[in-house]
Chain A
């Protein structure tokens, strides 16, 4: 049985463990053995994005150390995947050993939907969910990893699910890590623009590939008292 290591990300670990479990379910269902290296914590992105490069490097080294021998690393987040695959190299440009390890791991890091389609090569995972959903393109997945059609293809195979496009699918939800608390009014305003667009679709569910965006969208939906739910792609695919 092929084997994949998962990096669940700190936010899934602490806030959305169900998403991690759903990802495990789906991977096992399609015949992969899942390994969860227990020393994993965070990829370092919060520090990197806030300008704390030394701190980011410290945490990134820990990540590289934990996963140094993994063959496939599957991540339920476009943002964290991109951090590792695109920004570690910048962090370690002056540290040849860590840079070499980074380059070794770069091709082994897979965002969940990309892993399903490009490595496991499955589109239909046998999921079923009776909902009207709309898909939110998370920025780093879309613009740094080129993830656009993939999740939609996977969702199209979910029985009972109907998918409606938002007019502002590609517009940022306003999360942006520490941006969301450094500039709460701007971030909140962006979230409200997003949920306006969500509402125009008439969907009762927002699906995404990053729980950080979903946290923002879900929080704004709840504040506005709107009966629209949010689910990570893995959770949708785990339904049957």
Chain B
């Protein structure tokens, strides 16, 4: 872990207000979800999860086929599909397009994929102004921060924080009511919508059989961003493709419920190609950028490719006790929480942030709620094993490797195991608690334990000794 990462985690843990904000906001999302998927409200929820899992599996196992089908449908509707190997290629396409069309202003609807490739920074460097139009994303753009949560970008900010931010950045009077804040943002954004040349969106689903980009939103900004400007560019990871429009009957039922307990989002937009003759709205030009950016690497791994099933509902973050402690900015990469902990190491390579898959108690709350049933703990374990196999060369990793080797050797030798127990009890045995260690010893695991908690002293006799004594007593 880098010093900055460690510092961020510590800062978050030490900030009582922030802790409360995260815990309350995620807690609210948890209870809303719980109500929305309750047995009496949605009796076939578990069945839907299984179906969603199978549909995603089928789509991912046949990804090449469905991508081709999707592409030919888009083309048939008069749109264009661009394959981008990485963020650089995707943004290059956009920048070229902007230059060709003389576009200087782009409005964006919420998209984690564009966050993943730092699109805004790349555009700004070329003198193009990208404007986030989702309220949460807009707030984060003003604050120059990356999203705190994949569904609720400004989850960690209270309305008072937002009020201060608006005053500082927009020069408006301090407004602490959410409705009024929305109005302020709306007034600014309306101008941008009307002036923008290009609208950028992500995609929640790419429907292969109809060539439609499906996006779900609550604020209607997605609709405006994709229909008002002359040109619409959707940027989506290749894993977003699903076979048929009818499959949405499964996914739309579980996506919003898992995210925040809504039965369905306010807007579900089907965007299939540019405006046709006789249509009253829609862009003149329609492009879909299909992004790889490490995804084919995931695809190559039989077990871990299920990480690509993710529909970015955010439920695993809300239910993750680690995310709820460290917050969304402590993770490397833009995806926080359990899903981030499994895809970031796969996108960047396991040795990039080797600590990440270990930052979990493996409680399994994520997998329990994941609507597409990704086996997150199992994948974390697989990634941990890959990190170990990479044989990192730092001192701590070496010591750990050696310790586990010795440990395994001892654990299959009951006498040695028992002797180690004796030694432990001689050193740390007795009554009561161990609260502190001499400074010299405070660096190892024991010191780490005691930095937070007390440790009961080891009992004088182990179970096996008690057992033997009892049996002896019984014999006499």
**Which residues of A are interface residues toward B (Cβ below 8 A)?**
8, 10, 12-18, 20-21, 24, 36, 38-42, 44, 46-56, 58-59, 61-62, 139-140, 143-144, 170-172, 174-191, 193, 215-216, 218-220, 222-223
Contacts and interface: CB of A to CB of B under 8 A. Distances in A.
A49 to B, nearest CB: 6
Contacts of B159: none
15 contacts: A21-B466, A38-B464, A47-B407, A51-B385, A172-B363, A172-B365, A176-B361, A179-B359, A179-B361, A180-B361, A181-B446, A184-B452, A190-B361, A191-B452, A223-B452
Interface in B329-384: 355, 358-365, 367-368, 381, 384
Interface residues of B, number: 64
Q: Which of A21, A51, A61, A179: most chain B Cβ within 10 A?
A: A51
Given A39-B414, A143-B367, A187-B452, A14 B359 contact: no
Contacts of A177: 361-362
Contacts of A222: 433, 453-454
The 7 nearest A-B residue pairs measured at CB:
A176-B361, A188-B452, A219-B453, A51-B384, A172-B363, A55-B408, A51-B388
A23 to B, nearest CB: 10
Q: Which of B364, B433, B465: most chain A Cβ within 10 A?
A: B364
Interface string B434-476: 0100000000011011011111101101111111001000000
Nearest to B466: A17
A181 B462 contact: no
A187 B123 CA distance: 40
A41 B414 contact: yes
Given A14-B424, A50-B388, A176 B363 contact: yes
Q: Which of B23, B360, B411, B462: most chain A Cβ within 10 A?
A: B411
A178 B446 CA distance: 11
A53 B385 contact: yes
Contact of B404 (A18, A20, A55, A191): A55
Given A51-B388, A179-B358, A188 B363 contact: no
A9 B143 CA distance: 51
A55 B446 CA distance: 22
Interface string B313-333: 000000001101110000000
B251 to A, nearest CB: 24
B405 A184 contact: no
A59 B388 contact: no
A8 B461 CA distance: 14
A16 B324 CA distance: 31
Given A41-B412, A139-B364, A143-B365, A185 B456 contact: no
A52 B456 contact: no
Contact of A186 (B325, B385, B388, B421): B325
A56 B467 CA distance: 27
A62 B359 contact: no
A37 to B, nearest CB: 10
A143 B369 CA distance: 11
B101 interface: no
Q: Which of B355, B386, B388, B465: most chain A Cβ within 10 A?
A: B388
Contact of A17 (B386, B449, B462): B462
A172 B367 CA distance: 14
Given A41-B412, A58-B411, A58-B412, A190 B464 contact: no
Nearest to B415: A39
B10 interface: yes
Given A17-B466, A179-B361, A188 B408 contact: no
A17 B408 contact: no
Contact of B464 (A13, A49, A61): A13
B462 to A, nearest CB: 5
Contacts of B385: 51-53
Contact of B381 (A16, A36, A49, A174): A49
Contacts of A186: 9, 13, 322, 325-326, 359
A179 B388 contact: no
A174 B361 contact: yes
Contact of B411 (A44, A53, A175): A44
B417 interface: yes
Contacts of A193: 23, 321, 324-325
A185 B13 contact: yes
B368 A143 contact: yes
Contacts of B321: 171-172, 174, 190, 193
